[in-house]
């Protein structure tokens, strides 16, 4: 049961993030939903690479044994960097939209466009 807990929490984070992006109309809250999805994916990647009793693969004189998977750790770090850049870019878009339209509500911005 506890072995599957990180996978369950990752799935809940992704589902909660998708629901937040679909239900909320505030652009900031939609970006927060995207951040939840990214956190869920990162947790999933780290959970996939976990090995019980594993040794970090950075040691050159490590004893014989199971090593953790370094690939998913590298993918997670890359995903974190890309997620921060994407979030910063989206927040700057929201700032420009707020300056132009005076609101961060997606429905109102869509109506003002026409």
Residue 2 has a pLDDT of: 65
* Dist. CA 81–CA 106, nearest whole Å: 27
Domains of the chain (ranges; CATH) run 2-51+66-113 (1.10.287.3510)
The encoded tokens of residue 66 equal: 């199971």
How much is the pTM? 0.83
Q: How far apart are CA 45 and CA 14, in angstroms?
A: 13
What totals of helices (H) and strands (E) does the chain contain, helices first? 4, 0
pLDDT in tens, the chain (114 residues): 567 888 999 999 999 999 999 999 999 999 999 999 999 999 999 888 877 777 777 766 666 667 777 788 888 999 999 999 999 999 999 999 999 988 999 888 887 665
């Amino acid at each position: 049961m506890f072995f599957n807990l990180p996978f369950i929490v990752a799935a809940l984070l992704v589902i909660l993030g998708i629901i937040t992006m679909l239900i909320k109309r505030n652009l900031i809250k939609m970006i927060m939903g995207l951040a939840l999805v990214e956190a869920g994916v990162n947790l999933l990647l780290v959970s996939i690479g976990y090995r019980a009793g594993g040794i970090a693969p950075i040691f050159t004189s490590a004893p014989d044994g199971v090593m953790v998977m370094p690939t998913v750790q590298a993918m997670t770090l890359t995903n974190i960097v890309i997620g921060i850049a994407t979030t910063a870019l989206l927040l700057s878009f929201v700032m420009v939209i707020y300056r132009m339209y005076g609101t961060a509500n997606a429905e109102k911005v869509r109506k003002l466009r026409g």
